[in-house]
Structure 1
Amino acid sequence: MPLDRLTDVLDGHVRELERKGTAKGAEAVVTAVEMPRGKRGPRIRLEG
């Protein structure tokens, strides 16, 4: 299957998932991890 045809098929599949509400949402990106302090556990910094 040529690449342009494959792209069309995959685009259609993703649109169908979005229409049904089952497409994967945006992922959180971890930018830093702060070590635990006192009784508090580690802290995770997210992008955005």
Structure 2
Amino acid sequence: MLDAVIAIFLLFLANLLITIARTKFKGVPRRLLSVSAFLLLIPAFLFAFRALF
């Protein structure tokens, strides 16, 4: 159960980072926030997969 909560939190955080990057930044900071949000999807997927079993 806790794994699912962690996965949901990581997905929410990635969504928040993408939203902030697209609305407030341009150039390199936008790219860095987008890449960090993408990298958050990897552990979110792993936690979600672990929550299934």
TM range (shorter): 0.3 to 0.5
Q: Which has the higher helix share?
A: 2
Q: TM-score, normalised by structure 1?
A: 0.44
- Higher relative CO (CA 8 A, sep ≥ 6), structure 1 or 2? 2
State TM-score, norm by structure 2. 0.41
